[in-house]
Structures are given as structure tokens and as C-alpha cells.
Amino acid sequence: MKRIAIITSGGDAPGMNAAIRAATLTAIKAGCEVFGVKRGYQGLITGEISELTSLTVSDILHRGGTILHSARSKEFATAEGREKAIKHLHDFGIEGIVVIGGDGSFRGALELSNLGFATVGIPGTIDNDIECTDLSIGFDTALNTVLDSINKIRDTAVSHDRVYVVEVMGKNSGFIALYAGLAGGADAVLIPEVEPDLDQVVQRIEMVSRIGRRHSIVIVAEGIFGDPLSGRAFSESAAFKVATYINLKVKKDTRVTILGHIQRGGSPSALDRTLGTRFGAKAVELLISGESRMMVGWVDHDLKVSPMDEAIARKKRVEPEVYALAETLASI
């Protein structure tokens, strides 16, 4: 393997740059040339490919986002689009590709391997919804951003005796909401994996009032009422629906905060930098040793390599015992 390409695809996640840096340096050390593809699979179609050097990947470890930019490409999901993409890969003499992204990006990677290119995936999504790994790059940083926001919201909630309904990202997955609720001490957490029980949320707020606390924090995952990417109007956001119901049932000043894309940005945490670095190095080692269609993951505090097909076979589900603990603590 002499020429390797790196692609970041799907939603950006803090720590992707650490993976790009480690993959590039590991490949250079092994005597390979490394190329960065700009804007995900779209850049493969348009030929936005340029060499990555140890200088190009200097000073990026601490930066959020991805220096390679990211995109969602409908064209790449078509056979014609992929034909254009592989022409550029052939032109550059690229044999192996590291794909950093979510399950959609891995589906694209498998298509590329069907066309004769070796591919290794690195899970990079704040949603943490990829199977075969305990953690995806970006989840820890996003979670810390959410917790920092909850701390600030709690200050004003306490000062004004308010109920705050805080909406977090995660698409149809509840990891960010659940762990933010657990680590942020929320009074209720609503996640897509569990049918929303708004009467129970109201009961929790009333119970909190009875013990003498005048504020409440409710965490709502953006996907509790269906796919948040289906183009519904802003006013139909999950948090507004929940807050409207609470307002109807309890006489409390209820406010909504939608954290939105601040959850994606920011300097990656130590954990995301470390994960990105270890994933990036391992992915290149796998390509050089002739592996393909594999995903690098983190299981029981160690690297674990799994077939990419297995990683995308189903969505990772939140741990029932963690949800049960959040529920128990919120109801005492």
C-alpha cells in the first residue's frame, strides 16, 4: 500500500482532526503518501484531493470541526456518482481509504470496497450511535458542551424559579440526552428509544415543587417525536411541544432552550483527542497490513477492530440500566 486517502463525511465531530493527524503521520512514517479529500464523498466526485504532509496536519489537534471539511453527497449514493469518484481515486493511484464518519459514511465506504479499494472506518459522530464501539469521536466533547450549558441554565432556573426544557442533538438516538441528564442531574429525560410520557414529566415537576425546590430541568432529545431531519418547522421542535404540554398542566414559568449546533463545535476533549489519535493510527496500520471493510472501535477501554458490516447492521441502543438509573434518581 503506497497511497492512502483520508475522508471526513457526514456531520463533523470534535476529534476528527486528531484522527486525520494520526493517520497522516502513521502513514508517512510507514513510507506511504497521504491524500486528503475535501468535503466528504462530494470532493471525491469533484476531485478535491490534495497531499497531506506532516506540516499540513500540524496545529490541528486542538481544533474542532475537520480541516478536510465535510458534506453529505446524494450523488455519491448513485452508481454514476461513484463512477466519477473512483476515476479520481485511480488518477491519484490511491489504494486505501480511511473514512471518518457515521453509519452513512460507512455504507459509502463499503461501496468503495466493492469497487476494489481497501477501506477502514473510524466512528466519528457526536450521536454515539455506532455499534461495535463504546464511544465515537466527538460524543465526549459534545456531552461536556451540553453539561456546561445545563450548568448555566440551572443558574438562571434557580434564580427565577423556572422550568427549563433543554433540547439536545442526537437525531434518533438518545445517548447525548441520557448522559447529559445523568451527569447534569435532570428531573426528566426524554429519549427516542422510550415512548415519551409527558404526564410523568409533569408529575416529576410537581414532585420537585412539593419537596420545596422551585426549578426543574427537563432534557429532551431532538428525535423523540420522529426524525428531526425530516424538514419539520422550527416551531415544531420537540422541546416546544414538551414545554407547551407542561405549561398547560402546571402553573410554572416554563422556558425552552435548544442548544443546536454549539454541540458540534469546540476544541475536542482530552478523551476525543486520544480516541481520534488511536483510531487514526490503527486504521492506517490495518490498511497497510492488507485489511479492508473493517471499523476501528473502542470497547472495554481498548481498541477493537470489527467488520464494518457489523457496525452498520443496526443502530446502537442506549444501555437500559443507565436509563433506569437516570429514571430512579429523578424520581426520588
Residue whose CB is less far from ligand ATP, 109 or 163: 109
CA distances from 263 to 64, 65, 156, 259 (A): 11, 11, 20, 7
Q: Which stretch binds ligand ATP (CB under 6 A): 68-76, 149-157, 295-303, 317-325?
A: 68-76
| Binding of ligand ATP by 147 (CB under 6 A) | no
Residue whose CB is less far from ligand ATP, 108 or 192: 108
The 3-class secondary structure across 250-302, one letter per residue, is CCCCEEEEECHHHHCCCCCCHHHHHHHHHHHHHHHHHHHCCCCCEEEEEECCE
φ, ψ for residue 48 (rounded to 5)? Answer: -80, 75
User: Measured between alpha carbons, how far is 161 from 204 in angstroms, rounded to an integer?
Assistant: 15
Residue 251: which residues within 8 A CB-CB, separation 6 or more? none
Report in angstroms how near the CB of residue 111 gets to ligand ATP at its nearest: 5
| Binding of ligand ATP by 69 (CB under 6 A) | no
| Binding of ligand ATP by 228 (CB under 6 A) | no
Q: Which stretch binds ligand ATP (CB under 6 A): 15-23, 51-59, 70-78, 190-198?
A: 70-78
Residue whose CB is less far from ligand ATP, 146 or 217: 146
Report the amino acid identity of residue 163. Answer: V
Interaction residues for ligand ATP, span 21-50 (CB under 6 A)? 41
- Choosing from 36, 64, 65, 101, the residue that interacts with ligand ATP (CB under 6 A) is 101
- Choosing from 68, 111, 149, 269, the residue that interacts with ligand ATP (CB under 6 A) is 111
Q: What is the DSSP string of 194-218?
A: S---HHHHHHHHHHHHHTT---EEE
| Binding of ligand ATP by 103 (CB under 6 A) | yes
**Site size for ligand ATP (CB under 6 A):** 18
- DSSP-assigned beta bridge partners for residue 314: none
127 is catalytic: yes
Q: Which three cell numbers stand for residue 202?
A: 409533569
| Binding of ligand ATP by 15 (CB under 6 A) | no
User: Could you count the other beta carbons within 10 Å of the beta carbon of residue 328?
Assistant: 9
| Binding of ligand ATP by 64 (CB under 6 A) | no
| Binding of ligand ATP by 222 (CB under 6 A) | no
Q: Please give the residue ranges that form the binding site for ligand ATP (CB under 6 A).
A: 9-11, 41, 72-73, 76-77, 101-105, 107-108, 111, 125, 127
Question: What are the catalytic residues?
Answer: 127
